[in-house]
A and B are shown apart, each in its own frame.
Chain A
Amino acid sequence: MKHNILVRDKSRNHTCHEDKSLMDGLNVYENLVPKGCHNGACGVCKIHILNGEYSKSKMNRRYISQEDEDKNIVLACKVFPKTDMEIEFLPKPKILSALEKKVYILGN
């Protein structure tokens, strides 16, 4: 069954099948979700869930603490929609702090 997912920070919505994670369901649409590893290790798909019911699998604790998880801050690649949802992608804070330090990143 498909559900409607509103990505609030992009002001766009697309459907996601409940057998697919939000990351897998939404990444086929260009410029809608950040590109990442789709399975938990990279942390680029951190979202805040604003509305909607969902199930989830195990989060990578290197990026998502129990407190985050309790506040609906999760990795999109580990979340499966059960109803229509509203979500917002969060910037990867550690990357931002590294950029502040002006650490050279290959290709940037």
Chain B
Amino acid sequence: MGGIMRLGHIDLNVLDIEKSREYYTNIMGMVVVREDSDGTLYLKCWDEWDKYSLVLRPSDEATFNTAAYKVESDEDIDDLKAKIEAYGVETEILPEGEVAECGRTLKFTAPSGHIFHLYAYKTFVGKDVGDTNPRPWPFEGKGIKAHWIDHTLLMCEGPEKVMAGTKFFQEVLGFKLAEQVTVGPEGSLQAATWLARTSTPHDIAFVAGPHTGMHHFAYFLDGWNDILRAADVMAMHNVKIDVTPQRHGITRGETIYFFDPSGHRLETFAGLGYLVQPDMPTITWTEEELWRGIFYHTGAEDGAFTTAYTLSAYK
């Protein structure tokens, strides 16, 4: 198929790098795989094979920098560069190594307002369980032991930016629209969308809000038992939980929302949802059933869920 494969990493600014190091290693169960002289940390989950899936930069701001997606081959970079520019979006090629451990990287600001990176190569490390006669999970390790980074949900300035970002991801980057929330006259506006390149319900989602930013990024867990165990681990360490274990109507995911030491919202997302295929019909949620779609059990709005989130960085 070629083109974009999956979310590769999230790049954030954090307020206290040592608190973040302790949190992501002890609670999330990730491992620091690289440390730069400016204090930037790169972290990896046990079930990931590329070098890192999270970049944490010491900063005076708690903000969002970039979401990076991995493409299948180096030719995809040239192919997508041409397509993106033909669509009227400017691009830039960052030379090999400018994004740590990555090959040349295509950088652009999508019509959603967010900066994205696309790369084809990242230093290979391998899963912690190896690839010959592997155990199903590592005996070693700490905390939640998240499998891998799963998806991100980005906030856009109003439905217009959601729709512009969604159209771009569908038409130029080849994403499948799995689900949408429609609002306005005869549901003519998309207030939120869930898009996939893998066979899961989302590799990215866009939601309308007042500002450009990041709502959350998610780590994959197997199922409900792991969700409950993760919530226990969080409570044992006074992690601020935003939404206790809950089912999503949209994506069918089993979820917990919680915050890291800089206030970035994370999700542990369990279950594969359902099989997304190119011919699967898009699922639509109406404005009236919006909160049932988001929190399936309570079906009710949660005050801070759409208003409290991380803004994009100035730079």
Contacts and interface: CB of A to CB of B under 8 A. Distances in A.
Contact of A107 (B211, B259, B291): B291
Interface in B255-280: 259-265
A107 B303 CA distance: 10
B263 A40 contact: yes
Contacts of A24: 240
B306 A107 contact: yes
A104 B191 contact: yes
A22 B171 CA distance: 48
Contacts of A98: 157, 210-211
Contact of A39 (B158, B208, B262): B262
Interface size for chain B: under 10, 10 to 19, 20 to 34, or 35 or more residues?
A: 35 or more
A76 to B, nearest CB: 12
Interface stretch (B60-68, B73-81, B103-111, B128-136): B60-68
Given A41-B62, A60-B15, A94-B211, A35 B303 contact: yes
Nearest to B242: A37
Interface size for chain A: under 10, 10 to 19, 20 to 34, or 35 or more residues?
A: 20 to 34
A95 B15 contact: no
Interface string A27-44: 000000011111111111
A95 B189 CA distance: 21
B306 A106 contact: yes
A87 B234 CA distance: 30
Interface stretch (B27-35, B94-102, B307-315): B307-315
Contact of B209 (A37, A43, A58, A106): A106
Contacts of B61: 60-62
A104 B159 contact: yes
A43 B211 CA distance: 13
Contacts of B240: 24, 37-39
B208 A36 contact: no
Contacts of B260: 39
Given A104-B158, A105-B210, A106-B207, A42 B309 contact: yes
A77 interface: yes
A41 B310 contact: yes
A60 B15 CA distance: 7
Interface string A52-81: 000001101110000000000000010000
B236 interface: no
23 contacts: A36-B308, A39-B15, A39-B260, A39-B263, A40-B15, A40-B263, A41-B259, A41-B265, A41-B310, A42-B263, A42-B307, A42-B310, A58-B15, A61-B60, A77-B263, A98-B157, A99-B210, A103-B210, A104-B159, A106-B181, A106-B191, A106-B306, A108-B306
Given A40-B262, A41-B62, 6 more contacts: A36-B308, A42-B307, A42-B308, A103-B157, A106-B290, A106-B306
Interface of B: 15-16, 60-63, 157-159, 181, 183, 189, 191-192, 207-211, 240, 242, 259-265, 290-291, 301, 303-311, 313-314
